[in-house]
Amino acid sequence: MKYFKMTYRSVYQSGLWTVLLGSVLFFCNPKEETTPVKTPKKVLILGNSITWHPPGPEIKWFGNWGMAATAAEKDFLSLLTKKIKENNEQHEVLGRNVYPFERTYETINLTEFEDLKAFKADIIIIRFGENISETERAANPQLQVAVKAFVEYLADGRPVKVILTTPFWTNPGVNQNFLALSEKNKWPLIPLHDLGLANENMALERFENISVGRHPGDLGMERIATRIWTVLANELWV
C-alpha cells in the first residue's frame, strides 16, 4: 500500500510537472516573438563642410568636424551616427565631404570616389548643394544627370536606397533639381532650407568670418540630424 501511494504521488507530480513545463514552453515559443530582426546596414552620407571640414587657421576655424559645431560630437554627422548605432550597433556609417563634386559635377571623374564605391552602401544620404552656384546652375538638368550618375557609380549595380535633403542655405535652383530627382526616382526629399533662414540655427555670434558663422551651430546641427533620422529610421528596418 505504501508503495502504491508513492507511485501515485510520483505519477501525479510527474504529470503536474509536464503540464507546467508545457505551459512554460507554450509562452516561450519563439514563434510568438513579434520583434523584427534588424539586418545591419551600411549608411553613406555625402556632404560638404557641414559634414566635415579640416582646420583652417586662415578663416579662424580650428575644428576637425562639421563646421561650425562647438565639438565633434555635436555636428550632425556624429549625432546621426549615434542614433543609427543605437538602432543597431552593427550598422556602419561613413560620412564624406564631396565638395569637389559640387563644384565640378559636370566634368569630375567619379573614380576619385572609388573608396566610397568600395564601401558598398545600402543607403546613400545626399546632404549637399550649398556650394552649387545658384546663378549658373539654377534648373540645370545636368545636375540631375550628374547626381543620378554619382549614385549609380557608388551603387555599382547593387540596389541602394537614396535619401535627399535640400541645402541648409536657400538655393531654389538646387531645390528644384532635387525635387525633380525625388519625384523621378521615388527618393525621399527632406527639406532643410528653412533652417538656414533663422539665425538661431547658425553660429554667427561665434565667428568673425561670416562664411564660417553662417554654418549650422549646435542647434542647427541637431535639427538637421533629427530631420534626417525621422526618414532614415524607417529605411533601416527594410
Tens digits of per-residue pLDDT, 91-117? 999 999 999 999 999 899 999 999 999
Closest CA to 70 of 225, 224, 207: 207
In this structure, is the dihedral angle defined by the CA atoms of residues 204, 131, 52 and 80, taken in order, positive or negative? positive
Which class would CATH give 35-236? alpha beta
Instruction: Please name which of 77, 35, 31, 95 lies closest in space to residue 237, comparing C-alpha atoms.
Output: 35
Radius of gyration for the alpha carbons in the chain, expressed in angstroms and rounded: 26
Reported as a pLDDT band with limits 50, 70 and 90, residue 8 is very low
Kindly report, residue by residue over 145-165, the tens digit of the pLDDT. Answer: 999 999 999 999 999 999 999
pTM: 0.83
Write down the domain spans for the chain. Answer: 2-31, 35-236
Name the phi and psi angles at 151, rounded to 5. -60, -45
- d(CA 232, CA 125) in angstroms, rounded, equals 9
Residues of the chain with pLDDT > 90, as a percent, come to 76
User: What pLDDT digit, counting tens, does each position of 174-227 carry?
Assistant: 999 999 999 999 999 999 999 999 999 999 999 999 999 999 999 999 999 999
What pLDDT score does 7 carry? Answer: 41
Residue 14 has pLDDT above 60, yes or no: no
Report the mean per-residue pLDDT for the chain.
86
Q: Is the pLDDT of residue 33 over 70?
A: no
- Grid cell, residue 82, equals 549615434
Burial 147-166 (b: 16+ CB within 10 A, else e): beebbeebbeeeebbbbbbb
- 195, 168 contact by CB (below 8 A): yes
Mean pLDDT of 110-125: 98
Q: Say how far apart CA 222 and CA 117 lie, in whole Å.
A: 28
Determine contact, residues 237/82, Cβ cutoff 8 Å.
Answer: no
Q: Which residue has the higher pLDDT, 130 or 5?
A: 130
